Structure 1
Amino acid sequence: MNTYLHLRAVHPSALRNSTTWLQRLFEDDWDTVRHRIDRHREEMLDGHYLDHELLYAGAQVVLGGHPVSHPDPKTSPFLLLTAAQVTRVAEFLTDADFEALWQEAREELLKPYGDTATEPEVQGAFAAAHRDLTAFYERTALYGDAVVKWLIQ
């Protein structure tokens, strides 16, 4: 079973305090999701998304947010970011020096992936995810949108 963190931009006035509504946000077919990703309105991080916490140490809002419990206690909560928080994340990611972030977390990030021979590939994957997250948050902040996230297993 694949695990990934799914992020979706939502206009603040459209947000509902309903777990049923929040869950429906993530029930679209893959073609619809891919279309929104291409427009930087949605983003997904694969099962190694937790490794990004090491990269963005101290900036938990990049991956975190205000939790809204799912009715099924075995299911991950939804995470919400306000438009103001999205703007702060976009500013952080835009201003971040990826190479400096990588060097700070390099040793820990490489541990699950093997020896230093894998470093170019691993670093490239993290750099690509950083670019994608930056584009997603920049576009979302530009529109003044909030973000809903959900760890899907």
Structure 2
Amino acid sequence: MYFHLRAVPPPALRNSANWLRRLFEDDWERVRLRLDRHREEMLDRHYLDHDLLYTGAPPYDTVDGPGTDVVLGGRAVYHADPTQPPFLLLTAQEADQVAEYLASADFTYLWDVSRHVLLPEKAEADTETEAQTRAAFESAHQDLTAFYAQTARDGDAVVKWLVL
């Protein structure tokens, strides 16, 4: 299970769950090429943890805005099969706002606010575990920042899907 984000030119975008599903059916080699060009991004099964980094630690006192759109934001397009998660769509303008937010975000601040929730239990006492966990989140933050920056430069929209 992973969370998949893909940049799509707005004229090509369709409001159809079938079309959106086909958008994510490429073979791994094609996906890897798009990842290398920052046309796609993937978050592992801990995507909800990445969302916490941008939305704030519980009780989620952050205001709605670009930070809430980084991972899970977007307009939902539902499958005919209710057991499948919906696709999430960000317009080109929304993707641009997310890119601006990420470019100006202070990772250290985001980490400090949410680290007590993101660290494995008792890891705060283990500096090696904390350093590894922080490095993983910082790497994902850099990848998301690059993805949204390229998407904004290209004027593209973003489609997201939880691939089971």
Is this a same-fold pair by TM over 0.5?
A: yes
TM class, shorter-length: over 0.9
Shift of 1:70: 1.1
Which digits, 9 at most, give the CA deviation of each residue in 1:38-71, with x for residues without a partner?
A: 0000000000010012110142111121100011
Match of 2:86 among 77, 95, 102: 77
> Could you say what the CA RMSD is over the residues aligned between the two structures, in angstroms?
1.0
CA–CA distance in 2 between the matches of 1:54 and 1:105? 7
Give the structure-2-normalised TM-score.
Answer: 0.89
Q: Does 1:126 align with 2:137?
A: yes
CA–CA distance in 1 between the matches of 2:95 and 2:89? 10
Which digits, 9 at most, give the CA deviation of each residue in 1:84-112, with x for residues without a partner?
A: 00000000000000011000101001036
Give the structure-1-normalised TM-score.
Answer: 0.95
Residue 58 of structure 2: aligned partner:
none
Unpaired stretches in structure 2, ≥5 consecutive residues: 56-61
Match of 1:138 among 115, 125, 149: 149
Q: Does 1:115 align with 2:126?
A: no
Moved over 4 A (4+): none
Q: Does 1:22 align with 2:31?
A: no
Residue 48 of structure 1: aligned partner:
46
- What is the percentage of aligned positions where both structures have the same residue? 59
How many residue pairs are counted as aligned between the two chains?
150
Shift of 1:115: 1.5
CA–CA distance in 2 between the matches of 1:149 and 1:124? 24
CA–CA distance in 1 between the matches of 2:163 and 2:82? 14
CA–CA distance in 2 between the matches of 1:44 and 1:70? 21
Unpaired stretches in structure 1, ≥5 consecutive residues: none
CA–CA distance in 2 between the matches of 1:18 and 1:36? 22
